Amino acid sequence: MLVVQHIKLYWDKKFRGAPHSTSRNRLPKAYELPKSFFDYNPIGYPTHYIYLQQNENGIDEKINCVNTLSEYENVRIGAIEILRHDDNYEVRYRYDFHFAIPTRQKYDPKDSVYKPLNEFAMTLKQNEYGRIIYNGRFSSYDSFWYYNLDIINVLNSPTDKTPLNIFIASEPDKLYKQIEFLK
């Protein structure tokens, strides 16, 4: 069973730099799963979403909910793709955001072009816990731009009896980062 927690923090240009960056750096990288986390999971992977926004009042929680990712061979959450291989999960970073900075590309000498980054992040065997952290600056069609930090905790659990504090009780076995300095 795959157990996923997605923490997403948004802020806009008014909150760049100190002292606001200090608050973001203190943000927990994991939270305890809600008590109802394993109560309802139709065919799929239980997922805990925590969406936060930094504003004049500090960091406010906008969403804290449990949902279910469809149990297919490939699962997408943010820029992460999770592929099932028997009892293991391959985690890949797939950058395909068209209005984001920095542009994360890799040169393909075969086609002589730069292609969006799609790279291996980790393989999670049973009972392994991984963390993926990435950031970006995005713009909308009306020229409003904002920043985000995504933290995705993933556990390959052999059972649905996983403790609710699994992501805060220990550090991850594996870590992947795509962190850039954002202006």
* Digit-coded pLDDT (tens) for 52-91: 999 888 899 999 998 888 776 688 888 899 999 989 999 9
Torsion over CA: 18, 8, 119, 170 (sign): positive
42 pLDDT tier (thresholds 50, 70, 90): low
Give the pLDDT score at 143.
64
Mean pLDDT to the nearest integer, 107-131? 84
Question: Is cis: bond before 19, omega within 30 of 0?
Answer: yes
Domain boundaries, the chain: 2-69+123-178
Give the pLDDT score at 73.
65
- pLDDT tens for 138-160 read 766 666 777 889 999 999 988 76
Token pair in block for residue 92: 């890949």
Phi, psi angles (nearest 5°) of residue 138: -125, 150
